[in-house]
């Protein structure tokens, strides 16, 4: 007779296999699905999602969880995995199928409406459905945990163990520093084109991205790269991690940045422990931790001075015409140019945090009823004036710029800034422990860093809450001071007179 733990793992793997299949269907939807195949694909994915939920709330799983929970032979990690599973399953069991159906339907309608609103460049087109989404999210939160603030319940899906109040305090602490720094950088804001002399041909970029992925340590026997419009990382299994990237012939960094970002996510997924597959021990700790991996590789490695030196000869060799006389220093300055404006995805690393804080504050107020959808555009524009000193010139480049809320992702935004804080703290720890890191980057050795992240973060899955994982990895409590000092040092130096 197998132990309750073994039976639990077996049942969880069935669940994971279903969600893995759905993950592949979603990947294909963005990469290779024929235009008119979209309808049937949505139906296939809805069927798998419904079966997933059925299996998750089935009494036989609940019984196994109960049996495992009372097994005294569990290790501490197994105990935590059982508790994490119990929490997730308990919540799923509280959700009526009808509410799930209404949410899914409304999110899909609202996404379509967002597309229309963008075409019309008018928030009013999207507002009615957004209002319904907010109401459904409130109902969802009240159904799951009637005693908790609604926002906390939504946040918990992405950043377990965090609360809205905690994050509000944290962000209030960070905001003045980001604002000050943004003010100092404002005169240097630069929205000009890149410094390149000719196009970077697509076919060559494909080859370059593939070879760079290998050099960085992405395992192409256990993953792949494909071209899409919006880059993402998908992982149907630990041994099948898929990055997508985009290409812009005018500027290779337009494809390179998202690729390395997604690769950071991909490293995490490839670094989970195969033996624990299906259990929370082989799941990412939180989105704030996941994002720390992508931002560490994107901001701290790719956008570093040393990486520009490493990149220069590789780019010159592959793209001699485009590079012309461009050298490492120019690459470095281009990758880190200051961009203060109303659009999150066009912003620099410093003002980016302010974009996130605005979204967090608004979405929390929305869900907890302190602001209404009808007043949202004004509130958005007002906060942009106050925090960033800019006014969106249109809804398209203002309140309609992100898909998140319209697709039902409320409570997601703060994980971007948590990720940036975690990334800065991790990278500072790494550079202190490994003073040769610049030399390693210069000479294209990324293995030590990846191995350290594997051991400090990846292999642990959900063994610890995010705060504890960070403390174990860095020796100190998570704190925003690492991000603030990193940003100040880097960007004030960049704009200082030579």
Q: How far is the CB of 327 from its own copies (least distance, A)?
A: 34
Least distance (Å) between residue 51 CB and its own copies: 6
Contact 263, 243 (CB under 8 A): yes
- Toward its own copies, which CB reaches closer, 236 or 353? 236
Instruction: Name the residue nearer to its own copies (CB basis): 28 or 251.
Output: 28
Enumerate residues 226-255 that contact its own copies by CB under 8 A: 226, 236-240
Q: What whole-number distance in Å separates Cα of residue 226 and Cα of residue 65?
A: 39
Q: Which of residues 379-418 bind its own copies (CB under 8 A)?
A: none
- Number of residues this chain uses to bind its own copies (CB under 8 A): 38
Beta bridge partners of 237: 240
| β-bridge pairing 233-237 and 223-227 | unpaired
| Cα 204 versus chain centre, distance | 28
Name which position in 1, 2, 39, 230 contacts its own copies (CB under 8 A): 39
Contacting range for its own copies; rule: CB under 8 A; set: 41-49, 120-128, 246-254, 284-292:
41-49
Q: Report which DSSP code applies to 222.
A: S
Among 30, 53, 102, 222, binds its own copies (CB under 8 A): 222
Nearer to its own copies, 219 or 428 (CB): 219
**Which range, of 21-29, 420-428, 431-439, 487-495, touches its own copies by CB under 8 A?**
21-29
Cβ pair 231, 258 in contact under 8 A: yes
**Nearest Cα residue to 322 out of 192, 195, 211:** 195
Q: Does 48 bind its own copies (CB under 8 A)?
A: yes
Does position 163 interact with its own copies (CB under 8 A)? The reply is no
Minimum CB separation of residue 16 from its own copies in Å reads 9
Q: Does 208 bind its own copies (CB under 8 A)?
A: no
**Closest separation in Å from C-beta 233 to its own copies:** 14
Say whether residue 176 binds its own copies (CB under 8 A): no
Output the smallest distance, CB 92 to its own copies, in A: 18
Name the one range near its own copies by CB under 8 A: 39-47, 136-144, 390-398, 462-470.
39-47
Quick one: 11 or 422, whose CB is closer to its own copies?
11
Options 20, 113, 257, 336; binder of its own copies; rule CB under 8 A: 20
Q: Is 40 in the site for its own copies (CB under 8 A)?
A: yes
**268-297 residues near its own copies, rule: CB under 8 A:** 277
Residue with token string 């898929």: 242
When asked if residue 32 is in the footprint of its own copies (CB under 8 A), the reply is yes
Of 339, 36, 49, the C-alpha closest to 194 is 339
User: With respect to its own copies, which residue has the nearer C-beta, 30 or 404?
Assistant: 30
Residue in 4, 11, 37, 101 binding its own copies, rule: CB under 8 A: 37
Kindly tell me the burial class for residue 381, based on how many C-beta atoms sit within 10 Å of its own C-beta (0-12, 13-18, 19 or more): middle
Reading phi first (left if > 0) and then psi (alpha if -120 to 50, else beta), residue 414 is in: alpha
Token pair listed for 335: 């990758």
| Tokens at 236, concatenated | 């149907």
Annotate 368-419 with DSSP letters as a single string: TTSS-GGGHHHHHHHHIIIIIS---SSSTTTTTS-STGGGT--S-THHHHHH
User: How far is Cα 348 from Cα 360, in angstroms, rounded to an integer?
Assistant: 18
Nearer CB in complex with its own copies: 235/415: 235
95 sits near its own copies (criterion: CB under 8 A): no
Residue 24 contacts its own copies per CB under 8 A: yes
Q: Residue 92 is inside which H or E element, if any?
A: helix 76-94
One residue of 3, 30, 51, 306 binding its own copies per CB under 8 A: 51
Largest CA distance in the chain: 73
Concatenating the DSSP letter of every residue in 97-158 gives HHHHHHHHHHHHHHHHHHHHHHHHT-HHHHHHHHHHHHHHHHHHHHHH-TTS-HHHHHHHTT
Burial of 189 (0-12, 13-18, 19+ CB in 10 A): middle
Decide whether 221 or 493 has the Cβ nearer to its own copies.
221
| Residues belonging to the active site | 262
Residue by residue, what is the 3-state secondary structure of 324-364?
Answer: CCCCHHHHHHHHCCCCCCCCHHHCCHHHHHHHHHHHHHHHH
Q: Is 332 in the site for its own copies (CB under 8 A)?
A: no
Neighbours of 305 (CB within 10 A): 20
Could you tell me the smallest distance in angstroms from the CB atom of residue 240 to its own copies?
3
Q: Which residue, 241 or 331, is less far from its own copies as judged by CB?
A: 241
- CA 445, distance to chain mean position in Å, is 25
Q: Applying CB under 8 A, which of residues 30, 41, 86, 186 lies at the interface with its own copies?
A: 41
The answer to whether the beta carbons of residues 349 and 299 sit under 8 Å apart is yes
Binding of residue 14 to its own copies (CB under 8 A): yes
25, 67, 74, 99: residue in contact with its own copies (rule CB under 8 A): 25
Please say which residue, 34 or 497, places its beta carbon nearer to its own copies: 34
Starting at the earlier edge strand, list the strands of the sheet with 223-227.
Answer: 223-227, 240-245, 233-237
Using CB under 8 A, pick the residue from 43, 59, 98, 275 that binds its own copies: 43
Of the two residues 64 and 347, which places its CB atom closer to its own copies in the complex? 64
Binding residues for its own copies, rule: CB under 8 A, are 13-14, 17-18, 20-22, 24-25, 28, 32-37, 39-41, 43-44, 46-48, 51, 219-224, 226, 236-240, 277
């Amino acid at each position: 007779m197998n132990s309750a733990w073994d039976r639990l793992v077996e049942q969880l793997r069935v669940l994971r296999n279903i969600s893995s299949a759905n993950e592949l269907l979603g990947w294909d939807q963005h990469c290779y699905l024929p235009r008119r195949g979209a309808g049937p694909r949505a139906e296939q994915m809805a069927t798998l999602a419904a079966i997933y939920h059925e299996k998750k709330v089935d009494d036989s799983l609940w019984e196994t969880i109960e049996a495992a929970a009372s097994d005294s032979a569990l290790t501490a990690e197994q105990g935590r995995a059982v508790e994490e599973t119990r929490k997730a399953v308990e919540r799923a069991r509280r959700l009526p199928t009808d509410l799930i159906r209404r949410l899914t339907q409304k999110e899909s309608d609202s996404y379509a409406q967002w597309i229309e609103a963008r075409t019309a460049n008018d928030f009013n087109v999207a507002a009615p459905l957004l209002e319904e989404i907010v109401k459904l999210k409130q109902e969802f939160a009240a159904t799951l945990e009637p005693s908790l603030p609604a926002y906390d319940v939504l946040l918990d899906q992405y950043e377990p163990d965090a609360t809205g109040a905690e994050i509000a305090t944290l962000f209030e602490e960070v905001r003045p520093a980001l604002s000050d720094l943004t003010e100092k950088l404002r005169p240097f804001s630069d929205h000009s084109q890149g410094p390149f002399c000719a196009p970077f041909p697509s076919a060559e970029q494909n080859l370059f991205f593939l070879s760079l992925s290998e050099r960085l340590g992405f395992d192409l026997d256990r993953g792949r790269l494909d071209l899409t419009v919006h880059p993402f990382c998908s992982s149907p299994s630990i041994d099948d991690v898929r990055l997508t990237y985009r290409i812009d012939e005018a500027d290779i960094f337009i494809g390179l940045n998202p690729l390395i970002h997604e690769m950071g996510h991909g490293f995490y997924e490839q670094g989970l422990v195969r033996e624990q597959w299906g259990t929370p021990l082989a799941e990412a700790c939180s989105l704030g931790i996941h994002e720390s991996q992508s931002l560490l590789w994107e901001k701290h490695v790719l956008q570093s001075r040393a990486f520009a030196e490493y990149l220069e000869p590789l780019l010159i060799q592959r793209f001699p015409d485009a590079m012309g006389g461009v050298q490492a220093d120019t690459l470095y300055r281009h990758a880190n140019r200051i961009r203060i404006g109303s659009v999150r995805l066009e912003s620099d690393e410093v003002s980016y945090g302010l974009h996130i804080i605005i979204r967090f504050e608004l979405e929390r107020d929305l869900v907890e009823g302190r602001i209404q959808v009808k007043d949202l555009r004004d509130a958005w524009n007002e906060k942009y004036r106050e925090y960033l000193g800019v006014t969106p010139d249109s809804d398209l480049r203002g309140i309609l710029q992100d898909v998140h809320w319209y697709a039902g992702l409320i409570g997601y935004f703060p994980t971007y800034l948590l990720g940036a804080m975690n990334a800065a703290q991790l990278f500072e720890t790494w550079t202190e422990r490994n003073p040769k890191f610049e030399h390693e980057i210069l000479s294209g050795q990324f293995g030590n860093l990846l191995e350290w992240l594997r051991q400090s973060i990846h292999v642990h899955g959900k063994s610890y809450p995010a705060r504890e994982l960070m403390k174990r990895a860095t020796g100190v409590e998570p704190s925003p001071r690492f991000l603030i000092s990193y940003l100040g040092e880097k960007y004030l130096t960049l704009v200082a007179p030579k």
